[in-house]
Amino acid sequence: MSKTKERPAYQDDIDAAVDVMRRGGVILYPTDTVWGIGCDATNAEAVARIYEIKRRADAKSMLVLVDSLAALESIIPEVPEVAYDMIELAIRPMTIIYDGARGVAPNLLAEDGSLGVRLCKEAFSAALARQMRTPIVSTSANISGEPTPLIFSAISQEIIDAVDYVVGYRQGDTKTAPPSQIIKLGSKGEVKIIRP
């Protein structure tokens, strides 16, 4: 007798958020670190809207979330071998900046063509990326230069009003998560720690 898989409490939020992003919209959602502003990472217009919402120069690149190694490999054709070990052994969220990204909106990439990618292990973010089936932009939910809001109640009304969908899940959280480590990997495996 097979057990039917129970529908997660956050599934309605995921369905709605994915629908909005597939139509080119921008969402406000909880990530594995802080609350983030997100969109379909392949949609350059949606990415441009996030830069506008944050009042951020588009020379400053944003990172993307993926749910699997296969999703990572679809946008980073040459993942350095050391990255697999780092992802497997990471005990907290880790953003890795890779050279030679492809298949995402050009305005997401840094001037040198690199892109920060985080493989999510936290249930909501991973499920959102899995159902979306494209990488999801993730950038902190604040106006550029202002403090990063660690919980939903710290997000400014201006940001909330600017997005197309606000996820309800985890809005009541009072516990904060640490920011991700940021590590830059060169194509030959060089490692540079940007944020320990």
pTM: 0.94
How many domains is the chain partitioned into structurally? 1
Q: Is residue 168 situated within a structural domain?
A: yes
| CATH value at residue 73 | 3.90.870.10
The DSSP bridge pattern shows strands 94-98 and 35-38 to be unpaired
Q: Is residue 50 situated within a structural domain?
A: yes
Residue 1 has pLDDT above 80, yes or no: no
Q: Is residue 135 situated within a structural domain?
A: yes
Reported as a single tens digit per residue, the pLDDT across 144-156 is 999 999 999 999 9
Q: Is residue 3 situated within a structural domain?
A: no
Helix H or strand E encompassing 139: strand 136-140
pLDDT of residue 3: 57
Say which residue, 64 or 9, is predicted with more confidence. 64
Long-range contacts of 155-162 (CB under 8 A, 24+ apart): 155/28, 155/35, 159/28, 159/37, 159/53, 160/28, 162/26, 162/53
Q: Is residue 6 situated within a structural domain?
A: no
Q: 177 with 31: CB under 8 angstroms?
A: no
Confidence of residue 4 (pLDDT cuts 50, 70, 90): low
Q: Is residue 4 situated within a structural domain?
A: no
Q: Is residue 2 situated within a structural domain?
A: no
Domain holding 162, by residue range, is 11-172+179-195
Q: Is residue 1 situated within a structural domain?
A: no
